Structures are given as C-alpha cells and as structure tokens.
C-alpha cells in the first residue's frame, strides 16, 4: 500500500519497514487441499458411498454433474479466501521513523497506531516452531498505552524487533544528552 511510506518519507527519515509474510496463504492452501480431497474421494468412491446408505446400483446423487458443480463451488471458496487474505496483507503497513513506530491496517475502515519510541517499555518477538521454520512471527509492543499492540505475520520478526530496539536506544541516548542538569552547592 505504501501510504505510510509516502506520508513520512518527505518529513522524516524511515529507519525500518516491516514486510508481512505470504505464509498467511497457507490457510487458503489447506482449505483447497481439504475441499479438493473430499470432492476427489466422493468422485472416486461415489458408488460405494451411496451403497453404504442403501442405494444399490449406479449412484444417483454423487454423479459427475453434481460433483463438477461441487468442484466449482470449492474453487470459488478458495479464490474468495485468497482474495480476502491478499487484501488483508495488502492493507497492513508498519514503519519505524527516527522517533516513533507507525502501524496502519485496513482498506475502507483504517486503523492507525502511532507509538513514540520513548514510550515503548517492552518489545517482544513471538515465533512458534512452525513460524520459526517459515521465517515469520509476531511482535508485541507494550508501551504507556492501556493495552499492548500485537502485530502478526511479520517477516523476520526477530530481526525487525532488534532494529526497533536499536532505534529505541538511540532515541533514549539522545534524550539523555539533551537533559539539562543543574547542580547546586
């Protein structure tokens, strides 16, 4: 979408941009495999399945015409789920500027979160075993806000969180050097 990138690149330096993982499509692939497998099993074993329910002879209900329609319906379901996941991935953005984290999601109803780096208390990177193998994870940002911000599906979440922590330390170092300390004797 690049909305945040266009908005902030003219006014501030972007330190890091998160990329979201395409492994989110794994659920669509699983839906396709399950539906395709069920329809293939019905196609191959249609006569035997109907015999189990008392219909002797040629199958009446599990015929090629009906199964073609079922296959078409399954294809439509898979395509709609791929479209939904694509729009969800396309509508997410996460950037880190010199002094803040900006997260934006949504196409029609947009939700934006801006977290100043000096207010971030804990930055946590989470990866399950499968996510670690596939190279993505989620980041939890705990700040002075009421609730933590959880951002899922980030490619190389651990590396991205280390980059954010490095920028946080630079912001805090710069903040400490600008403090005016007055000593009275």
Between these two residues, 177 and 70, which has the higher pLDDT value? 70
Q: Which residues have a Cβ under 8 Å from the Cβ of 24 and sit 6 or more positions away?
A: 85, 88, 89, 153
At residue 72, does pLDDT exceed 80? yes
pLDDT (0 to 100) of residue 180? 61
Task: Give me the mean pLDDT over the 152-158 stretch.
Answer: 92
pLDDT (0 to 100) of residue 151? 94
d(CA 103, CA 81): 24
Q: What is the pLDDT of residues 4-23, one digit of tens each?
A: 877 877 778 888 999 998 88
Task: Give me the mean pLDDT over the 53-77 stretch.
Answer: 82
Question: Angle at CA 153, nearest 5°, toward 147 and 157?
Answer: 85
At residue 81, does pLDDT exceed 60? yes
At residue 181, does pLDDT exceed 80? no
Q: Is the dihedral of CA 95, 97, 102, 106 positive or negative?
A: negative
At residue 93, does pLDDT exceed 90? yes
Contact 118/124 with Cβ under 8 angstroms?
no
> For the chain, what percent of residues have pLDDT higher than 70?
96
State the chain's mean pLDDT as an integer: 86
At residue 102, does pLDDT exceed 70? yes
């Amino acid at each position: 979408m690049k909305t945040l990138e266009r908005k902030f690149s003219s006014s501030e330096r972007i330190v890091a941009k998160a990329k979201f993982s395409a492994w989110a499509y794994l659920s669509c692939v699983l839906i396709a495999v399950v539906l395709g497998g069920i329809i293939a099993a019905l196609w191959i074993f249609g006569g035997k399945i109907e015999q189990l329910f008392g219909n002797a002879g040629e199958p009446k209900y599990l015929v090629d015409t009906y199964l073609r329609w079922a296959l078409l319906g399954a294809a439509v379901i898979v395509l709609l789920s791929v479209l939904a996941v694509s729009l969800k991935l396309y509508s997410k953005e996460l950037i880190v500027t010199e002094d803040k984290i900006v997260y934006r999601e949504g196409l029609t109803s947009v939700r934006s979160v801006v977290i100043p780096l000096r207010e971030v208390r804990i930055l946590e990177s989470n990866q399950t075993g499968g996510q670690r193998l596939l190279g993505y994870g989620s980041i939890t940002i705990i700040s002075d806000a009421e609730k933590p911000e959880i951002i899922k599906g980030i490619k190389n979440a651990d590396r991205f969180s280390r980059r954010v922590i490095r920028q946080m330390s630079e912001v805090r170092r710069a903040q400490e050097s600008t403090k005016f300390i007055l000593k009275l004797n």
